[in-house]
């Protein structure tokens, strides 16, 4: 596939400020962090890197700001082997995220979209056809919905499989759900999208909205995978979690890689669950993303 890619990612590119705290601050409270780090991030960029580290040829579509941070974010993607010819610059600040990380590895994230908010559908429509020659398209919702819909339409027209990670969740997804082959929410996102607390009930409701496969991720409990004819719980390997920030992005990147390898939905989810679990054993959403060698060794030892 000389002009195309295995995985095309249309999504956010951010710089993350990670604050290590004992607990998130309450309203009106000022607390002191135990440590702080600046790290490249963004759901889209992290998922692109995750797939690239697992051996896929990956292209990123997104926007960075016309600042030094933006230049560094683009360079960082290139250093990870991600094709960045479709990463453009907008005359605004780059996307930023503030992440509060607690000692038990849990996190709370606040995102300032910056340049990501400028990724209009018109930019997607203006991209050359070769950009959409891919096996899988990975989408998230940290960029405008119209851009995600436009990308899904172009990728499907080119014969690609569309994977949607509905994060952050929103209610007006009917058109995008009908274009997605895979829908991969976490437990809370599935509840927000359907109003149903039970992951199985929420997954069935989402499956009825159009996707061929719904995979509700359950953190340390693994994932629930549903197709039109079968439901199966996929267990996650047991690990001592240090930082869960990058687990979801590791899962999505590994899922795209597994689908490119031709694995069936349940085997693909098992591969992705192992990647997500392994990513929790190191700090940093980007730094924790496993290589193919790391993941294969981990799966052999589990």
User: How would residue 123 be classed by pLDDT, with cut points 50, 70 and 90?
Assistant: very high
pLDDT value of position 300: 86
Sequence ranges of the domains in the chain: 5-13+42-94+115-301
Q: How far lies 119's CA from each of 95, 122, 209, 213, in Å? A: 12, 8, 26, 27
**pLDDT at residue 171 greater than cutoff 80:** yes
The whole-number average pLDDT for the span 178-207 is 97
pLDDT value of position 79: 97
pLDDT value of position 245: 79
pLDDT value of position 104: 82
**pLDDT at residue 231 greater than cutoff 50:** yes
Helices (H), 80-220: 121-126, 145-157, 174-179, 187-194, 199-207
pLDDT value of position 246: 85
Closest CA to 46 of 105, 117, 95: 95
pLDDT value of position 44: 96
Active site positions, annotated: 249
**DSSP character string of 124-150:** HHHS-GGGG-EEEEEE-SSS-HHHHHH
When the pLDDT of each residue in the chain is averaged and rounded to a whole number, the result is: 94
pLDDT value of position 286: 87
CA 19, CA 257: separation in Å to the nearest integer? 31
pTM: 0.92
**pLDDT at residue 285 greater than cutoff 80:** no
The whole-number average pLDDT for the span 229-247 is 89
pLDDT value of position 1: 44
The CATH number of domain 5-13+42-94+115-301 is 2.40.40.20: no
The whole-number average pLDDT for the span 80-84 is 97
Classify 248 in phi/psi space as left (phi over 0), alpha (psi -120 to 50) or beta: alpha
Would you call 245 helix, strand, or coil by DSSP? coil
User: How would residue 121 be classed by pLDDT, with cut points 50, 70 and 90?
Assistant: very high
**pLDDT at residue 302 greater than cutoff 80:** no
The whole-number average pLDDT for the span 278-284 is 87
Instruction: Tell me the two tokens of residue 233.
Output: 């719980």
Quick one: which H or E segment has residue 41?
Answer: strand 35-41
- Higher local confidence (pLDDT), 241 or 128: 128
Are 223 and 199 in contact by the 8 Å Cβ rule? The answer is: no
Closest CA to 73 of 52, 94, 99, 57: 94
Using one digit for the tens of pLDDT, what is the confidence trace for 96-111? 989 888 888 787 888 8
The whole-number average pLDDT for the span 19-23 is 92
**pLDDT at residue 273 greater than cutoff 60:** yes
pLDDT value of position 30: 94
Are 136 and 160 in contact by the 8 Å Cβ rule? The answer is: yes
pLDDT value of position 113: 93
């Amino acid at each position: 596939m000389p002009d195309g890619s295995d995985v095309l990612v249309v999504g956010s590119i951010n710089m993350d400020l990670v604050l290590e705290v004992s607990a998130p601050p309450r309203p009106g409270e000022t607390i002191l962090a135990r440590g702080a780090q600046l790290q490249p991030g963004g759901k889209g960029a992290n998922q692109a890197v995750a797939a690239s580290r697992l051996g896929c040829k990956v292209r990123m579509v997104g926007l960075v700001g016309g600042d030094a941070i933006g230049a560094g974010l683009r360079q960082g993607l290139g250093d990870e082997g991600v094709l960045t010819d479709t990463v453009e610059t907008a005359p605004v600040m780059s996307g930023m995220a503030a992440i509060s990380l607690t000692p038990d590895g849990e996190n709370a994230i606040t995102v300032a979209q910056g340049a990501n908010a400028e990724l209009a559908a018109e930019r997607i429509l203006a991209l050359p056809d070769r950009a959409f020659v891919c096996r899988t398209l990975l989408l998230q919702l940290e960029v405008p919905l119209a851009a995600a819909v436009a990308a899904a339409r172009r990728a499907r027209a080119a014969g690609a499989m569309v994977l949607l990670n509905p994060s952050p969740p929103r209610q007006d997804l009917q058109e995008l759900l009908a274009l997605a082959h895979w829908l991969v929410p976490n437990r809370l996102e599935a509840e927000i999208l359907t109003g149903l607390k039970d992951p199985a009930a929420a997954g069935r409701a989402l499956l009825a909205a159009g996707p061929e496969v719904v995979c509700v991720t359950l953190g340390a409990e693994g994932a629930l995978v549903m197709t039109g004819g079968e439901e199966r719980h996929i267990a996650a390997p047991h690990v001592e979690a240090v930082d869960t920030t990058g687990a979801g992005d590791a899962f999505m990147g590994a899922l795209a890689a597994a689908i490119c390898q031709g694995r069936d939905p349940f085997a693909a989810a098992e591969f992705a669950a192992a990647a997500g679990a392994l990513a929790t054993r190191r700090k940093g959403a980007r730094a924790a993303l496993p290589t193919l060698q790391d993941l294969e060794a981990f799966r052999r030892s589990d």
